[in-house]
Amino acid sequence: MSEYYNYIKALHLIFVVTWFAGLFYIPRLFIYHIEASLKPSPEKEILGHQLKLMTKRLWFIITWPSAVLCTLFAIWLLVIMPGWLEQGWMHIKLVFVLLLFVYHLKCHQIFKQLQRDEVKYTSKFMRIWNEGATLILFAVVFLAILKSTFSWVFGLVGILGLGILLMLGIKLYKRIRDKNPNA
């Protein structure tokens, strides 16, 4: 089975990429959907219909299948490499993967609400929410690449720093957008 390790790992990584692509784009579509709900008719209905369709296709054709396949290939890798489950870095990585599933399921809840035209969040909230997957991605990649050489203090400071930079970027973008609505 270990002769297939590189193929399984490659497939796992491909589905990690496509899963994150979906998780990066879906909140952006949520933002557009929320902002479209504030527009006058018939623009509101036309945009709402199109955004529902785009979101549904992204969610069920790319994001969910990628999450499932990524997980199946990850489990297969753990079967081939059972020693990983004894290593501290893998325990921490699996915590972040669990957080990723929580994030994914919350996105699914928001998806279903917007499909029913229930707007419960602001576009500002969604812009901040959109960065959740980014923080998880950074943590998982650094853990997977650096493994036991990863300095937990440095990593924690780095993730917090990245979060602060992302929030500052959101504030800067809002200022630019408020000055120039077409930006």
Q: Confirm whether residue 12 is marked as ligand binding.
A: yes
Two tokens, residue 136:
């998880």
Q: Confirm whether residue 147 is marked as ligand binding.
A: no
Q: How many CB atoms lie within 10 A of CB 112?
A: 11
Q: Is the peptide bond before 65 cis (omega within 30 degrees of 0)?
A: no
- Measured between alpha carbons, how far is 162 from 138 in angstroms, rounded to an integer? 9
| 103, 132 contact by CB (below 8 A) | yes
**Residues contributing to the annotated binding site for heme:** 12, 93
Binding-site residues: 12, 93
